Amino acid sequence: MANTKSAAKAARQALKRKAINTARSSRIKSSVKAAEAAVDGSDKAAAAAALKAMQTELSRGVKHGLLHRNAAARKMSRLSKRAKAIKS
The mean pLDDT value of the chain amounts to: 94
- pLDDT given for residue 13 in this prediction: 97
Using a pLDDT cut of 90, give the percent of the chain over it.
90
Given CA atoms 70, 25, 46, 43 in this order, what sign does their dihedral have? positive
Once rounded to an integer, what is the mean pLDDT over residues 21-44? Answer: 94
Residue 88 in this model has a pLDDT that exceeds 80: no
Q: Are 61 and 24 within 8 A, CB to CB? A: yes
Once rounded to an integer, what is the mean pLDDT over residues 31-58? Answer: 94
| pLDDT tens figures, 45-68 | 999 999 999 999 999 999 999 999
